[in-house]
Amino acid sequence: MTAPAAPATAPTPTPTPTPTGSVPVTDGHIVVDSVGKDYVALDGHVVHGLQPVSLSIEKGAFVSVVGRSGCGKSTFLRLVAGLEDLTTGSITIGAERVSGPPDSVRYVFQNYGESLLPWRTVGDNVRFGLRHGHGPRRAHGRTAEDQLIEQHLAEVGLHGTFSRYPGELSGGMQQRVAIARALAASPDVLLLDEPFSAVDALSRGTLQELILRIWQERGLTVLFVTHDIEEALFLSQRVIVLRPQGAGVQRDAAVDIPYPRDQVDFREDERYLALRRDVLGLVLQVEREAS
């Protein structure tokens, strides 16, 4: 990308010394090894966007990353997506070492309104995903392609919206289009950056169920960033809590509650309540210490 405007922040060439907590990471679908990110602030100071983090995510896992704003969770996701350069460490996805957006990964943005192509119909937005997809071309000819697009739209519950424009749809439906577009690219890994935080509460519930269904049916590896601890616990097998101000991983908690999970029953489950109290207390405690 050759945009004329100078980026406000640039990666520093100096690596942070002594990466902490370097665990032997050999197995796993996504392997994050001592990954850190520094920015240069406008006044020339070096800001730690993310202090070295190491973790391994196995194939087909649903993992959430939570934390207060400014904890580096979005930075972490953008690093995995190859949208930003690493200051330290390395990330491998499958056999591919991340340097730029990996082929097998698709990213769902929080800001669906700006991520969709507003001049294209819903169907043509999904076609964009299909044409710029991972692996061999799945449809030959316009008719076959249209059929495949209809299937993807049906998968996210958007029957009969093929020739509508994104601007005609509600926020929740637009995010569904973005998800259908990502799925059309047949990725192995789906990265979601606070995908439902701009959506109204009722739609959020159905979208959460939708993403769980897609994850299970397709066997995707999902990395989900959110500031909502309850959402993270409901969706994931594993929740990673980041310390404030990019200070790295605070807690890596397994959510040992079987699927399918019910929106109402799940929130009355003892194990959920215990985990929620635990994680929430942790976040609030750190908050108090900081102030």
Partner 1 sequence: MTELANTPPVARGTVPGPRPGADDAADLLVSLPPSDETPPVPLAVAGGPAPAVVRRSPFRRFVRSRGTGWTLVVLVVIVWQVSSFIHFEPTISSPDRIARTWWREITEGQLLPQLGRTLETMAIGFVLAIPIGITIGFLMGRSRIVWGLLEPSVEIIRLTPVSAILPIFILFLGIEQEMQVAVFLTAGLFPLIINSYAGARSVSKVLSQTAQTYRLSWWQTQREVALPSAMPYILVGARQALGISLVLAVVIGMLAGNSGIGYYILLAQQEFNINRLLAAVLTVALIGYLLNALFLLAERRISRWRRTSIGEG
Look up tokens 């076609």; give the residue: 127
Beta-carbon neighbour count of residue 62 at 10 Å? 23
Is the Cβ–Cβ distance between 15 and 51 less than 8 Å? Answer: no
Nearer to partner 1, 86 or 239 (CB): 86
Nearer to partner 1, 3 or 95 (CB): 3
Q: How far is the CB of 15 from partner 1 (least distance, A)?
A: 24
What whole-number distance in Å separates Cα of residue 288 and Cα of residue 268? Answer: 28
Q: How far is the CB of 124 from partner 1 (least distance, A)?
A: 10
Q: How far is the CB of 3 from partner 1 (least distance, A)?
A: 7
Q: How many CA atoms within 13 Å lie on the side-chain side of 117?
A: 12
Residues from 229 through 268 that contact partner 1 (CB under 8 A): none
Strand bridging mode 30-40 / 46-57: antiparallel
Span near partner 1 by CB under 8 A; candidates 10-18, 43-51, 95-103, 271-279: 95-103
What are residue 97's phi and psi, to 5 degrees?
-85, 130
Q: Does 39 bind partner 1 (CB under 8 A)?
A: no
What whole-number distance in Å separates Cα of residue 282 and Cα of residue 275? Answer: 10
Q: Does 11 bind partner 1 (CB under 8 A)?
A: no
Q: Does 1 bind partner 1 (CB under 8 A)?
A: yes
Span near partner 1 by CB under 8 A; candidates 10-18, 116-124, 204-212, 250-258: 116-124
What whole-number distance in Å separates Cα of residue 123 and Cα of residue 121? Answer: 5
Among 14, 69, 111, 170, binds partner 1 (CB under 8 A): 111
Structure tokens given for 154 = 């049906």
Among 3, 8, 201, 264, binds partner 1 (CB under 8 A): 3
What whole-number distance in Å separates Cα of residue 280 and Cα of residue 219? Answer: 30
The footprint of partner 1 (CB under 8 A) covers 1-5, 81-83, 100-101, 103, 105-107, 109, 111, 114-115, 117-120, 128-129, 132, 165-168, 185
